[in-house]
Every structure is written in C-alpha cells, then in structure tokens.
Amino acid sequence: MKNNFSNMVPLTEDSPKKQETVCIFGTGDFGRSLGYKMMQCGYSIVFGSRNAQTSSLIPKGAEVLSHTEAAQKSGIIIVAIQRQHYNFLAELTEVLQGKILVDVSNNLKINQYPESNAEYLALLVPGAKVVKAFNTVSAWALQSGTLDASRQVFVCGDDSNAKQVVMDIVRTLGLTPLDQGSLLLAKDIENYPLQLFPMWKFPIYLSLGLSAAFFFYCLIRDIIYRYVYEGKDFSFFVAISIPNRVCPIVALILLALVYLPGVIAAILQLYRGTKYSRFPDWLDKWMLCRKQLGLVALAFAFLHVLYTLVIPIRYYVRWRLNGYVISQINSNKTDPFNNVNGWISDSYVALGILGFFLFVLLGITSLPSVSNSVNWREFRFVQSKLGYVTLILCTAHTLVYGGKRFLNPSMYRWYLPAAYMLSLIVPCIVLVIKFVLVFPCLDRPLTQIRQGWERNSSGS
C-alpha cells in the first residue's frame, strides 16, 4: 500500500519550529513514513534518491536531491534502503566522512548474513559513525500514529555522541530509545523483529498440549467408556461439558506454573547461599515468559466462566432438573433443604468469582500502558502478592468443587478423579513450598547471606 502523504494532514505554519535538517536515503515506504513523522515533529528533511524528482508520494515540504547533494546538507543520514543495495554507499565515502549514518534495515531471516547490516555499513563507509536504530518500528505504525506496541526503539553504536544524537531524535518523535551498547549488539537488534512471539511459544504449546491431553482423557472417560459399557450416547459432551472441564484445569495449572519458577529460584538461592549467581538457562527462559503464561491462563479461565454461565440454558441440564422434580412428584416426597450443600455450593461459586476477578486485575496490570503508570514496588505488589491470593482462591475453588462432587456422588457419578487431582498438584506444590518452606525462612537467611557477601567482597 503506497500512501499519498500530500493528501494527509498538511504541515502548516503552526508546526513546531524547524529544528535541524536530517537526510534520508531512500524514498521507499519506510523512508517516507519516517520523513513525514520527523517533519511533523519539526525537522526539515532532505531525501537522497536515485531519482531526484519530487513525486506526489513525497511528504510536502521535503526536498529530494541526489545522494551526494542530500548528504552534504546534513550531518545525520538515515539509510532507509535494503542492505543488498548498500554497495553504492562505498562511493560516497568522502561526503559521508565523519557523519552519522543511521542503519534502520531488517533482514528476511534470522542470521541471514554473517555480520549485521549495521556492521556491514560501517565496513563499507569506514569514516562514518554508524548507529543502529528504528528497525523495530514499522512504516505502518509511523504513518498511522499507533505506536503503542512498538514505542521502544533499540539503539546501538560505537560512537556515544552519535548515539546520543540519534536517541534525541527518537525522543523527539515521541518514542522511547533503549541504549543497547556497541554496534556488536546490532545483530540481536536485527533479529528481534523476526522472532515471532518468542515469549509466547512455550505458553501456547504447553497450553495446547495440556488441553489436548485432558480433552482426550475426558473423551475416553465420559463418552467412549460410557458408550461401550452403558450403551449411552453422550457425544454432545464434546461441545460444552468437556471443554468446561479442560479449561479450568489448564487455567489453574498454567497459573500455578507462573509462580513455580519463582519458588524454584528461591530454593536455588537458598541452596547456593547467594542471591548473586546466574540461574540455569531453562529457569531464566521460564521466568521471562511468566507474563505470557499468565495471560494464556487468563484466557482459559475466561472460557471457563463463559461455559459455566450458559449451564442453566442447556437443554441437557434443564432436562435433568425437570426429571429430578418429576421424580420427586411421582414418589410424593420432597428432598429437605441441605444447609451444608447450600454453603458448599455458594462458597464454591464465590471463590471462583473472586479468583477470576483478581485474575482479570492481574491481567490488566500486566498491560504495558498500566504497568508503565505504576512504580516497580506497586507492580511487584500486584503481580506477586495479588498473584498468590489469586492462586489460593482458584485452588480453593477447585478444592471445594471436588468436595461438592464428593458429597453428592449420586448426582455426579462421573467426575474426574485423575484430571482433577492433576490440576491440583502443581498449585498445591507451589503454595506449600511458598508458605511452608520459602516464605518464613527466605527473608532472614538471604539478607544475612547478602550482608555476609558484601562484607566479604568489601574486605577483599
């Protein structure tokens, strides 16, 4: 989609005062989008192009010159050209001498070339100060102004002044620069946009695996087994009944897995006697995807809520209730009200409601826009303390559900012992370790360990 910038909001006299001239090589999608955004923020832009004619696509007010002429007009040149066309830059070495060259390029594959594009540019134009930036921002986001998800701009480069200049531009555009260090880091920065949901992979695969396993378990137990041994066809259970068993089980296990690496890490720290050693790689990775695990868990919990809300309007449920009432009428007897059952049923639902409410609160506070507006301590409080309360409530909800079924074996003959027990194992492990082992003893020994460590290191 080529956007015609001259049709968009015109840059009027009230635009911020012109700051400095920045040169952009390449009048492609990205070059034009960045140029337009920079002009809105008060920069004056000269494009360097193979074809030095202003076309209707070029943002109004920008000059288009040849590469050499454009480069002479500014100390900063943004190279919005694909890496495979960089060769011609070697001929411009003289005019690019001492200038800041910003490499914005991305590759099509991870580790496509032996060296990063930015390092390649630095080799081609040895006299220039190469800075890597902007590659994680898309042309589309720049045009549409919807930069919420990609406000961060990773910047790296060997010349710290050049890096500062680029970071100032990033800030002026309303983005957040993140200094990643030297140009060696360019490779990681270039690989970053190519990683498809790196943090989501593990949670999604895990949840799909768990769902499939529990689904087949329920399928065999509730449908196939009963069909074979009782001759009854309950195949319609696959629509709501079985998903509504799978969802809460998966949600609870995933929620517990959000907090399991934390307690494992704490045990590891206790065992090693220091807070300052690296965790094993798998634990690191697990810790890093906790937020995604939690969000997938929330999605399953949400489904469970929806499936539960439709229970009263299900044909099968109404049919059973009617049958129950009619059988009471036929036998001319009324079941007495059972207070215990009343309590169990209400407390089970109440625990579920509160657990889900806190779960949603956890999900909302993990959104970047919310977590940016609270300080680190508040964020920790919500994510850790509130997280454990949520886990306790959801585990209790599941326990009481089991109790309810246990007390009414005649009504619910075929509840799920194995899957149900499995869903409780992980949360119980986490809660038991947290509160019996880690919680009471962690604070003191670790502080002492740390003080001892500091004393040792300052003494040596």
Ligand X SMILES: NC(=O)C1=CN([C@@H]2O[C@H](COP(=O)(O)OP(=O)(O)OC[C@H]3O[C@@H](n4cnc5c(N)ncnc54)[C@H](OP(=O)(O)O)[C@@H]3O)[C@@H](O)[C@H]2O)C=CC1
Binding site for ligand X (CB under 6 A): 26-31, 49-51, 80-82, 85, 88, 104-106, 135, 138-139
Nearer to Cu ion, 88 or 406 (CB): 406
Least distance in angstroms from the C-beta of 197 to ligand X? 18
Closest approach of Cβ 275 to Cu ion, in Å?
38
**DSSP letter at 55?**
-
| 414 and 226 Cβ atoms separated by less than 8 Å | yes
Backbone dihedral angles phi then psi of residue 131, each to the nearest 5 degrees = -125, 135
In the complex, minimum distance from the CB of residue 28 to Cu ion, in angstroms, rounded to a whole number: 53
> Of the two residues 125 and 254, which places its CB atom closer to ligand X in the complex?
125
Residue 62 or residue 433: which is nearer to ligand X going by CB? 62
Pick the closest to residue 103 from 94, 113, 146 (CA basis): 113
**Residue 355 in the binding site for Cu ion (CB under 5 A):** no
Binding partner at 352 among Cu ion, ligand X, none, C-beta below 5 to 8 Å by kind? Cu ion
Measured from the CB atom, the residue of 46 and 296 that comes closer to ligand X is: 46
Q: Where does this chain touch Cu ion (CB under 5 A) — which range of 200-208, 241-249, 286-294, 450-458?
A: 241-249
Rounded Cα gap, residues 184 and 201, in angstroms: 27
Is residue 243 a contact point for Cu ion (CB under 5 A)? no
Estimate to the nearest angstrom the gap between the alpha carbon of 307 and the chain centroid: 26
For Cu ion, the closer of residues 47 and 237 by Cβ is 237
Reported as type and span, the H/E element at residue 191 is helix 186-191
Angstrom distance (rounded) from CA 434 to CA 438: 5
Three-state DSSP at 131 gives: strand
Q: Which residue's CB atom is positioned nearest to ligand X?
A: 28
Q: Which two tokens stand for residue 388?
A: 């454990």
Q: Is residue 85 within 8 Å of residue 103, measured between CB atoms?
A: no
Q: Work out how close the CB of 209 gets to ligand X at its nearest, in angstroms, rounded to a whole number.
A: 34
CB of 53 to ligand X, least distance (A): 10
Angle subtended at Cα 26 by Cα 166 and Cα 93, rounded to the nearest 5 degrees: 70
The CA distance from 345 to 332, in Å, is 26
3-state percent helix, strand, coil for the chain, nearest multiple of 5: 65, 10, 30
Number of C-alpha atoms within 13 angstroms, CB side, residue 264?
14
Query: By CB under 5 A, which span of 15-23, 186-194, 213-221, 344-352 interacts with Cu ion?
Result: 344-352
Q: Which is nearer to ligand X, 102 or 305 (CB)?
A: 102
The minimum distance between CB 7 and Cu ion, in angstroms, equals: 53
Does residue 26 touch Cu ion according to CB under 5 A? no
Q: Looking at beta carbons only, is 262 or 352 nearer to Cu ion? A: 352
Instruction: Decide which of ligand X, Cu ion, none touches 40; Cβ closer than 5 to 8 Å per partner kind.
Output: none
25 bridge partner residues:
48, 79
CB-nearer residue toward Cu ion: 326 or 411: 411
Q: Which of ligand X, Cu ion, none does residue 51 bind (CB under 5 to 8 Å by kind)? A: ligand X
Residue 145 CB, shortest distance to ligand X, in Å, is 14
Q: Note whether 262 binds Cu ion by CB under 5 A.
A: no
Given Cu ion, ligand X, none, residue 244, with its beta carbon under 5 to 8 Å by kind, binds none
> Rounded CA gap, 190 and 136, in Å?
8
Candidates 69-77, 310-318, 346-354, 443-451: pick the segment binding Cu ion (CB under 5 A).
346-354
CB of 81 to ligand X, least distance (A): 4
C-alpha span between 69 and 132 (Å, rounded): 23
Using CB under 5 A as the binding rule, whether residue 248 contacts Cu ion is answered as yes
Q: Candidates 102-110, 264-272, 338-346, 349-357: pick the segment binding Cu ion (CB under 5 A).
A: 349-357
Quote the least distance from Cβ 168 to ligand X, whole Å.
Answer: 20
Cβ contact 366:294 at 8 Å: yes
Q: Which segments of 98-242 does DSSP mark as H helices, in order?
A: 117-124, 139-144, 160-172, 186-191, 201-218, 225-230
> Would you say 297 and 258 are in contact if contact means Cβ atoms under 8 Å apart?
yes
Query: Can you tell me which residue has the tokens 């060696």?
Result: 184
Q: Which stretch binds Cu ion (CB under 5 A): 40-48, 170-178, 242-250, 411-419?
A: 242-250
| Residue 72 or 308 with smaller CB distance to Cu ion | 308
**Interatomic CA distance for residues 60 and 36, integer angstroms:** 8
For Cu ion, the closer CB: 203 or 352: 352
Residue 426 binding: pick among ligand X, Cu ion, none (C-beta 5-8 Å cut-off by kind) = none
Token pair listed for 305: 């809520």
Q: State whether the Cα torsion 343-349-352-358 is positive or negative.
A: negative
The DSSP bridge pattern shows strands 76-79 and 63-65 to be: unpaired
Helices (H) and strands (E) in the chain, counts: 19, 8
The residue from 48, 352, 355, 387 that contacts Cu ion (CB under 5 A) is 352
Q: How many residues bind Cu ion (CB under 5 A)?
A: 2
CB-wise, 118 or 391, nearer to ligand X? 118
Contact set with Cu ion (CB under 5 A): 248, 352
